[in-house]
Amino acid sequence: MSKRLEILEKALADLKETHRSAWDIYGSELCAGEMIAQEEKLEKKIKALKKLEEGEKEDPKYIIDD
């Protein structure tokens, strides 16, 4: 696992912990949608980096040519 991937996974864990803590304190005053979107964006970045590192190729049966 690359250092960049480790950093991103740590950042995701920290972000989730921060969001959970903030939600416990402030509750519905916060925008849950934005919090979830931030987490999902980081999760997608991690998933893409993992695919890149593993050299995973896209399955040809799911490629649509125009």
Q: Is residue 15 part of a domain?
A: yes
The full length of the chain comes to 66
What string of pLDDT tens digits covers the 66 residues of the chain? 689 999 999 999 999 999 999 999 998 888 889 999 999 999 999 998 888 888 766 666 666 665
SS3 48: helix
Q: Is residue 62 part of a domain?
A: no
pTM: 0.72
Q: Is residue 58 part of a domain?
A: no
| 65, 35 Cβ separation under 8 angstroms | no
Q: How many domains does the chain have?
A: 1
Q: Is residue 66 part of a domain?
A: no
